[in-house]
């Protein structure tokens, strides 16, 4: 069989994996402020590992003794984002987050990369960009 004859398999999503300082606190932030749901926590009552999900986006998080969180910006200031979340309507999502009293690192606008979106930092300083090409 040639490569042209082989069906291309689908990749459904990608999920960043963050080392966090406190899984319960981070899950609460994503669920209460950003509208994610907790899909999995291990163990349930005092988790060291969790998965949160909203629509087709999942984020994995784990707390490990003596390994601190390391957002990209802590390595170098110009590496500002830890994840990019494609959002077809950033304006509507920004309104939703404003109503939930979410603090924005950068408000809705157009970036130097010509993306329309905004930035939010989670409790450990991981910066999430929500947006789309302008």
pTM of the model: 0.90
Q: By C-alpha distance, which of 67, 69, 51 is closest to 15?
A: 51
Q: What angle do CA 35, 88, 39 make, to 5 degrees?
A: 30
Same domain as 133, residue 76:
yes
pLDDT at 115: 97
Q: Which domain holds residue 46?
A: 14-64
Same domain as 43, residue 91:
no
Those residues with Cβ within 8 angstroms of residue 109's Cβ, 6 or more apart along the chain or in another chain: 116, 117, 118
Same domain as 95, residue 44:
no
pLDDT at 2: 65
pLDDT tens digits, 77-108: 889 999 999 999 999 999 999 999 999 999 99
Same domain as 129, residue 77:
yes
pLDDT tens digits, 35-57: 999 999 999 999 999 999 999 99
| Three-class DSSP category at 54 | strand
- Does residue 73 contact residue 79 with C-beta atoms inside 8 Å? yes
Q: Is residue 4 a part of any domain in this protein? A: no
pLDDT tens digits, 11-38: 888 899 999 999 999 999 999 999 999 9
Q: 65 - beta bridge partners?
A: none
Same domain as 127, residue 93:
yes
Same domain as 48, residue 96:
no
Whether the predicted pLDDT of 66 surpasses 80:
yes
Query: How many residues are given for the chain?
Result: 134
For 88, phi and psi rounded to 5 degrees?
A: -60, -30
Give, for 91, the enclosing helix (H) or strand (E): helix 90-99
Q: pLDDT grade, residue 10 (50/70/90)?
A: confident
Separation of alpha carbons 48 and 44, rounded Å: 9
Is the pLDDT higher at 58 or at 3?
58
For 94, phi and psi rounded to 5 degrees?
A: -60, -40
Q: 19 - beta bridge partners?
A: 62
Structure-token match 């999900």, residue found: 53
pLDDT at 6: 81
Question: Which CATH number goes with the domain that contains 121?
Answer: 3.30.720.110
pLDDT at 83: 95
């Amino acid at each position: 069989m040639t490569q042209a004859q082989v069906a291309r398999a689908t990749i459904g999503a990608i999920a960043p994996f963050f080392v966090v300082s406190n899984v319960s606190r981070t899950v609460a932030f994503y669920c209460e402020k950003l509208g994610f749901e907790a899909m999995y926590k291990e163990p349930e009552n005092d988790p060291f590992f969790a998965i949160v999900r909203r629509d087709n986006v999942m984020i994995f998080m784990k707390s490990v003794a003596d390994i601190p969180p390391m957002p990209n910006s802590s390595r170098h200031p110009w590496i500002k984002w830890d994840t990019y979340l494609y959002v077809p309507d950033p304006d509507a999502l920004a309104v939703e987050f404003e109503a939930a009293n979410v603090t924005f690192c950068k408000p809705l606008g157009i970036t130097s990369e010509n993306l329309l979106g905004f930035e939010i930092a989670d409790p450990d300083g991981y910066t999430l960009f929500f947006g789309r090409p302008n």
